[in-house]
Amino acid sequence: MSSYIERPRFSCALCGALMAAAALPDTIPIVHSVAGCVGNVAWTQQGGAALQVGGPCGCLGIPGTNLREREVVFGGLDRLREQIANTVVVMEGRLFIVLTGCVSEVIGDDVDSVVRSYKWAGMDIITARTGGFRGNSYRGYEELLKTLFRDYVRTAKRKSSRLVNLWGVVPGMDVFWRGNLEAMRRLLESMRLEVNTFFTGEDSLETLACAAKAALNVVVSPLYGVEAAEIFTEIHGTTYLVAPFPIGPTATGRFLHMVAEALHIGNEDVDRVIDRESERYYRYLSPLTDPWIDLDLQRYALIIGDANYAFALADFVADDLGWLPEQVFVTDPVPEDQREDILGRRAGLRPEPEHRLVFETDTSAIRHRLDPRWFPVEDGNDYRESFSPAFVIGSSMDRELAESLRAGHLSVGFPVANRAVLDRSYVGYSGGLRLVEDLVGAMVAAR
């Protein structure tokens, strides 16, 4: 690993855990750290989360102990006790989650003991260790899930054969998380499944607490939430399926089949859904055919994204759009030894040749690791082969790069500073159509 990360496309563990905790229904996070951590999250969202800031608490409404030098010297547990006691008085919530930050962890506060005492007193309160030095926002999400599964989800006597839990979409890091979770929920519901997605408006603390009844956990990510899934299996016995994040008809059909197979559901329900949704997808896509060909909208695609999106976008543009994703950059800091795992989890998909798939966290380094064929041929009678016309699907930080490649660009991955996302989703069938609209929109804007 390098000694630095340049312009990381994620924040710290606390940020990830906080964005996720704030997204849970009726839940109040309590940040045990210095005051600035919460504001950092709010401003990070302002610039990176496609104009979505804060949860129901508002961006600076998250309770926090706001530690100062005094606590660094004498410990912060008294302050934490006081804060918890008063949080219940001020804040409307039913579940309270204490999230630790760097400072409380480095000074060694025994947060567990405090939380335990409130828990024994009957309060629904849990805690996760999410100090920034423990890792990035994806790690924070994972830690939050682990805490929930360990300390909040109740053991269940029996499984409900058509109930599944689904996770792997990281609130805030996936700026489309709200629409994406809703879309996946709808897809699985249309297969006559009951679905817990934990973080949407249709979830509740009750269904979260009963999540152990699920017959299957579906992790729609090769990376995020897999550890949590293992812990879930350990504690509650529910097995899990690691499925690729499904964008567009090909991947979504495969996804639905994987889920059905894991649940030992007959193909009937799956095929009905796939047939209906595919019919609809291609009915809507079909009128684009003439412009697609006549305007030559096939592109060499440069994909830059996290482990969910990088693979999902590459598969979508290759399998459904007929694009050529010549290089795919995964911007997560994935240790060498885990890279094989990730690739292994792309079960059934063709392996990516080495030169096509690049793990790279640093924004400028992406440019340095580009195949020279991305760089545009200067005008004149130059016959050098090039990846042109090109399109960059990345974050808003990749605009300069796209411009220098004379390529189109769409901001999809964090940070997304230059668009607003509300319920938009790129997942599933309709999400695929939405992505086609947005990609083409970026290509023909001057038309």
Partner 1 sequence: MSYFDRATPPTRESRLASCITYGGTICGLAGKGRRSCLENAERSFSQGSICLLLPALGIINSLPDTAVLIHGAVGCGTVTHSQNCIVRMGSAARHGKARDVLWFTTALQELDVVNGGERRLEDAIREIDREHSPKFLVVVTTCIPGIIGDDVDTLVERIAPEIKARMLPVHCEGFKTSIWATAYDAVYHTIGRNLLEPPEGELTSGPNPRLVNLMNVSSMGRPDELELERLLRALGLEVNIFPVFADPGGMHRATRAALSVSTCPTHDDYFLKHLRERYGIPFSIRHMPIGIANTALWLRDIASYLGLKDEVERVIARETAHLQAALEPLLPLFQGKRAFIAAGEMRALANGTLLRELGFEITGMRTFHHDEFAEGEYEKLAADGSDFVVNIADCQPFEEANLLRRLKPDVFMGHVNANSTAARMGIPTVAIYQVGMHFVGYRGVYELARRLHRQIRNPSFNQRLAEHVRLCYREEWYRRDPFSHIQRRGEDQL
Contacts of 411 by beta carbon, 8 Å cutoff, 6+ apart? 50, 394, 395, 396, 398, 399, 417, 418, 419
Q: At which residue do the structure tokens 């918890």 appear?
A: 84
Asked if residues 83 and 65 have their Cβ atoms less than 8 Å apart, the reply is yes
Kindly state the tokens that stand for 198: 């934990």
User: Parallel, antiparallel, or unpaired for β 390-394 and 324-330?
Assistant: unpaired
Residue 61 binds which entry of its own copies, partner 1, none, CB below 5-8 Å type-dependent:
partner 1
Contacts of 172 by beta carbon, 8 Å cutoff, 6+ apart? 15, 16, 19, 20, 23, 45, 49, 52, 137, 414
Pick between residue 264 and residue 283 the one whose CB is nearest to its own copies.
283
Least distance from C-beta 6 to its own copies, angstroms? 21
Pick between residue 219 and residue 410 the one whose CB is nearest to its own copies.
410
Least distance from C-beta 392 to its own copies, angstroms? 15
- 55 burial (CB, 10 Å; 0-12 / 13-18 / 19+) is buried
Least distance from C-beta 318 to partner 1, angstroms? 7
Least distance from C-beta 447 to its own copies, angstroms? 5
Residue 420 binds which entry of partner 1, its own copies, none, CB below 5-8 Å type-dependent:
its own copies
Asked if residues 190 and 133 have their Cβ atoms less than 8 Å apart, the reply is no
Least distance from C-beta 417 to its own copies, angstroms? 5
Pick between residue 81 and residue 346 the one whose CB is nearest to partner 1.
81
Residue 261 binds which entry of its own copies, partner 1, none, CB below 5-8 Å type-dependent:
none
Contacts of 98 by beta carbon, 8 Å cutoff, 6+ apart? 29, 30, 31, 32, 80, 84, 111, 114, 115, 125, 126, 127, 128
Measured between alpha carbons, how far is 131 from 67 in angstroms, rounded to an integer? 14
Strand order of the β-sheet with 125-128 is 27-32, 95-100, 125-128
Cα angle value 228/342/367 (rounded, 5°)? 120
Residue 121 binds which entry of its own copies, partner 1, none, CB below 5-8 Å type-dependent:
none
Least distance from C-beta 240 to partner 1, angstroms? 27
Pick between residue 117 and residue 418 the one whose CB is nearest to its own copies.
418
Pick between residue 206 and residue 282 the one whose CB is nearest to partner 1.
282
DSSP secondary structure letter of residue 351: P
Residues that bind its own copies (CB under 8 A): 42, 45-46, 51-56, 58-59, 178, 201, 279-280, 283-292, 294-295, 396, 417-424, 430, 433-434, 436-437, 440-441, 444-447
Residue 441 binds which entry of partner 1, its own copies, none, CB below 5-8 Å type-dependent:
its own copies
Pick between residue 9 and residue 236 the one whose CB is nearest to partner 1.
9
β partners of residue 125: 96
Contacts of 5 by beta carbon, 8 Å cutoff, 6+ apart? 333, 361, 362
Kindly state the tokens that stand for 73: 């010297």
Measured between alpha carbons, how far is 368 from 374 in angstroms, rounded to an integer? 11
Pick between residue 215 and residue 412 the one whose CB is nearest to its own copies.
412
Pick between residue 201 and residue 344 the one whose CB is nearest to its own copies.
201
Residue 244 binds which entry of partner 1, its own copies, none, CB below 5-8 Å type-dependent:
none
Residue 445 binds which entry of its own copies, partner 1, none, CB below 5-8 Å type-dependent:
its own copies
Residue 32 binds which entry of its own copies, partner 1, none, CB below 5-8 Å type-dependent:
none
Pick between residue 132 and residue 179 the one whose CB is nearest to partner 1.
132
Measured between alpha carbons, how far is 24 from 42 in angstroms, rounded to an integer? 17
Pick between residue 46 and residue 388 the one whose CB is nearest to its own copies.
46
Asked if residues 413 and 394 have their Cβ atoms less than 8 Å apart, the reply is yes
Residue 234 binds which entry of partner 1, its own copies, none, CB below 5-8 Å type-dependent:
none
Collapsed DSSP state (helix, strand, coil) of residue 382 = coil
Query: For 219, what's the count of Cα atoms within 13 Å in the CB-facing half-sphere?
Result: 25
Least distance from C-beta 438 to its own copies, angstroms? 9
Residue 231 binds which entry of its own copies, partner 1, none, CB below 5-8 Å type-dependent:
none
Least distance from C-beta 53 to its own copies, angstroms? 4
Least distance from C-beta 337 to its own copies, angstroms? 37
* Helical (H) or strand (E) element with 205: helix 205-209
